[in-house]
Amino acid sequence: MTPEVRARLVEPFYSTKGHGRGLGMASIAHVVDALAGEIEIDSTVGTGTTVTVRRPRCTPPP
């Protein structure tokens, strides 16, 4: 993806397709943020994109 698209990736209602709602990555980013996680994006134009989501390990209640 281009740097311009990458910069807007998690904006609500942003879409490169011209249709749809553009809420997918915005929703994911919100949930990941609420869980104190992080999103890593590795993208090369013409090759592809890998999105990695990390979250803290959960510990069971005592």
- Strands of the chain (E only): list them: 38-44, 48-54
Per-residue confidence (pLDDT) for residue 21, from 0 to 100: 81
Local confidence band at 55 (pLDDT 50, 70, 90 cut-offs): very high
Lowest mean pLDDT among 7-16, 17-26, 39-48: 17-26
Rounded Cα gap, residues 22 and 28, in angstroms: 11
At residue 47, does pLDDT exceed 90?
Answer: yes
Per-residue confidence (pLDDT) for residue 17, from 0 to 100: 84
Taking the model in full, what pTM does it have?
A: 0.74
At residue 59, does pLDDT exceed 90?
Answer: no
* CA dihedral for 25, 27, 28, 33, sign (positive or negative): positive
* CA dihedral for 19, 28, 38, 46, sign (positive or negative): negative
